[in-house]
Amino acid sequence: MADKILCGRVISNRSSGDIHVLCNESIFRCRALGKLRRDPPVPGDLVSVRCETEDVGTVLEILPRKNRLTRPAVANVDRLILVVSEAEPATDRRYIDHMSAMAAYMGAETVLCINKCDVADGECLRAVYEKAGFRTVSVSALRGEGIELLTSFLTDGVTVFAGNSGVGKSSILNRLLPGVELATGELSRGIGRGKNTTRHVTLHTSGYGGFVCDTPGFSTFDPIEMGMTDIDRLPLCFPEFVDRLSGCRYTDCGHTTEEDCAIVDAVRAGEIDADRHACYVELFHTLKDYQRRNPELFRKNQRI
């Protein structure tokens, strides 16, 4: 066993410094080499591990990441299941627009999971987001409805569950992952914000081929902090814009108020939802502002 090197997936990273890595079928409890201290392995990372015993090892290196979400940190995310609801606590649409744009920017797909359908059917949300090109699944974690369909999204890669606190993420995952019992409802809230049990992200093997993880939700949205700084990529983060972009008159069109802009025209014609476009415009100005305030950053970026 000594000096054997394996490749594995980080499934959790405890504050104690223990990193759990799944290599083949075994979980290794690891420490990371000191050189990784500044950018430590996070759940989802693919790493090389030097095995010391049959379940203890050292993380030597992190393989290049496809992406990395912050707060909570998860790497190599393929899919975001955004849990939303029209029942209490009703999901703010701007939150959906922000989170899905962020996911697209990172190269992850968003699936809208409309929960609590036993209380409110969620048809308004479904209509808006299906029209915009998202896949949606209506579920009731309480009754177990729609859960089967959700499993069809968990057959590969890393799937992150996100959504506002109280929307039912942990309840859904408890349905999806037999044997896993995540704290739900009053219980998790009772523990208090500071030491929320879901602060620590753990990847679970879904039983359908991929990995899933619960998150405490990403409550604040700061596009810059999340790494969304390239304004040219922003229109591509709105799926209903993508096929229309070639129709704009100006190649450098910002799609905010321009003449003969295919996006603005589609909003006027009712083909693109006005609130979604307003969210785009807001993000556009945030990113523009950031560029204006940090010109040196962008000159540097262009050279890379």
Residues near Zn ion (CB under 5 A): 248, 253, 255, 261, 263
248 contacts which partner out of Zn ion, Mg ion, ligand GDP, none, CB within 5 to 8 A by kind?
A: Zn ion
Binding residue for Mg ion, selected from 13, 58, 91, 170, defined by CB under 5 A:
170
Minimum distance from CB of 10 to ligand GDP (Å)? Answer: 23
The verdict on 116 binding ligand GDP (CB under 6 A) reads yes
Minimum Å gap between C-beta 112 and Mg ion is 18
Name the closest residue to ligand GDP (Cβ). Answer: 185
**Which string of DSSP letters, residue by residue, matches the chain?**
-TTEEEEEEEEEE-TTS-EEEEETTEEEEEEE-GGGTTS---TT-EEEEEESSSSEEEEEEEPPPS-EETTTTEES--EEEEEEESSSSPPPHHHHHHHHHHHHHTT-EEEEEEE-TTT---HHHHHHHHHTT-EEEE-BTTTTBTHHHHHTT-SSSEEEEE--TTSSHHHHHHHHSTT-----HHHHHHT-STT-GGGS-BEEE-SSSSEEEE-S---S--TTTTT---GGGGGGGSHHHHTTGGG-SSTT--SSS-TT-HHHHHHHTTSS-HHHHHHHHHHHHHHHHHHHH-HHHHHHHHH-
In the shown chain, the binding pattern of residues 86 to 115 toward ligand GDP, with x for contact by CB under 6 A and - for none, equals: -----------------------------x
CA pair distance 113, 140, nearest whole angstrom: 10
Question: Which of residues 48, 67, 184, 205 is near ligand GDP by CB under 6 A?
Answer: 184
- Asked whether the beta carbons of 117 and 146 are under 8 A apart, the reply is yes
Whichever of 166 and 227 has its CB closer to ligand GDP, that residue is 166
Residues 210-269 that bind ligand GDP (CB under 6 A): none
Q: Least distance (Å) from ligand GDP to the CB of residue 144? A: 9
Q: Which stretch binds ligand GDP (CB under 6 A): 28-36, 53-61, 67-75, 137-145?
A: 137-145
When binding is defined by CB under 6 A, the residue of 18, 92, 118, 271 that contacts ligand GDP is 118
* Tokens, residue 94: 């701007």
Q: Which of 48, 151, 165, 291 binds ligand GDP (CB under 6 A)?
A: 165
> Which tokens in the block code for residue 169?
């993420």
Smallest distance from the beta carbon of 244 to Zn ion, in angstroms? 8
**Least Å from the CB of residue 71 to Mg ion:** 15
Using CB under 6 A, pick the residue from 122, 146, 168, 223 that binds ligand GDP.
168
List CB contacts of 222: < 8 A, sequence separation 6 or more: none
Q: How far is the CB of 205 from ligand GDP (least distance, A)?
A: 20
Which of 108, 125, 141, 283 binds ligand GDP (CB under 6 A)? It is 141
Considering the complex, state which of residue 79 and residue 255 has its C-beta at the smaller distance from Zn ion.
255
- Inter-residue contact 2 to 28 (CB < 8 Å): no
Binding site for Mg ion (CB under 5 A): 169-170
Binding site for ligand GDP (CB under 6 A): 115-116, 118-119, 140-142, 163, 165-171, 184-185, 188
